[in-house]
C-alpha cells in the first residue's frame, strides 16, 4: 500500500506483458476477460429485447428492426462468438479449478478444443436460427434479403 510507505524507493519492476511472446495460454486468457466484458455490455441489448417486448408491439418492432440491421446483426454475431468462447473457456477454467488439465500439453489441447467448439457452435447456432425455427424462413430471410438488396443498390 502506497499510503503506508510515504517515501517510495525506486525499485526495478518485474517485466510485464509486452516483453513476452504471445502464447496460446496467455492469449486465450486475455480473450476470456475481453469476451466476458463484451458480454456484460451485451446484456444491455438482451435487456432491451425483453423490455421492448413488455412495453408492446411498437417498441418490439423498433428493437427487431435494429436487431435485423447490419449493425445489429454484427453485434449479435459478435455476442454469439463471445458467448460460445466464454462458455467453453469457462468450462476449461472449471477443469483447472478442480485440479485437472494442468499439464501444459493438456492445457493447449483444451485450448484448441475451445476454439473448435466456438467456431462450430457459432456456425450451428446461426444456421439453426436462420433456417430451422418455426418463424425463421418468412421474416428473417426477408430481412436478410432486404439487407442484401439494400447492399446491392448501394
Partner 1 sequence: MNMKWDNHGMKTPLARARGLGASRAVVPGWIRLRVTAIGIAVLSVWFLWFLTQTVGASHEEFTAKLADPRNAICMLLLIIAAFSHAVLGNREIVEDYIHHEGFKIFKLIGTYLFFFALATACIFSILKIAL
Contacting residues toward partner 1, per CB under 8 A? 33, 36-37, 39-40, 43-44, 46-47, 50-51, 53-54, 56-57, 60-61, 83, 87, 90-91, 94, 97, 125, 128-130, 132-140
Distances (CA, A) of 6 to 2, 3, 9, 112: 7, 6, 9, 48
- Tell me the chain's radius of gyration from C-alpha atoms: 22
- Nearest distance from C-beta of residue 111 to partner 1, angstroms: 18
Residue with cell 511472446: 21
Q: Which is nearer to partner 1, 39 or 115 (CB)?
A: 39
Distances (CA, A) of 145 to 116, 129, 134, 150: 30, 15, 18, 8
- Nearest distance from C-beta of residue 140 to partner 1, angstroms: 4
Q: Which is nearer to partner 1, 39 or 113 (CB)?
A: 39
- Nearest distance from C-beta of residue 53 to partner 1, angstroms: 6
Amino acid at each position: 500500500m502506497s499510503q503506508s510507505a510515504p517515501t517510495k524507493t525506486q525499485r526495478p519492476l518485474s517485466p510485464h506483458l509486452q516483453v513476452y511472446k504471445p502464447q496460446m495460454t496467455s492469449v486465450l486468457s486475455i480473450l476470456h476477460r475481453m469476451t466476458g466484458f463484451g458480454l456484460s455490455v451485451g446484456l444491455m441489448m438482451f435487456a432491451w429485447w425483453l423490455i421492448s417486448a413488455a412495453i408492446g408491439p411498437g417498441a418490439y418492432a423498433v428493437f427487431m428492426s435494429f436487431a435485423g440491421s447490419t449493425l445489429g446483426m454484427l453485434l449479435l454475431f459478435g455476442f454469439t462468438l463471445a458467448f460460445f468462447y466464454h462458455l467453453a473457456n469457462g468450462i476449461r477454467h472449471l477443469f483447472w479449478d478442480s485440479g485437472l488439465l494442468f499439464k501444459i500439453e493438456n492445457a493447449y489441447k483444451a485450448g484448441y478444443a475451445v476454439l473448435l467448439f466456438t467456431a462450430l457452435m457459432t456456425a450451428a447456432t446461426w444456421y439453426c436460427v436462420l433456417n430451422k425455427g418455426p418463424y425463421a424462413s418468412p421474416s428473417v430471410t426477408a430481412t436478410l434479403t432486404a439487407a442484401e438488396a439494400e447492399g446491392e443498390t448501394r
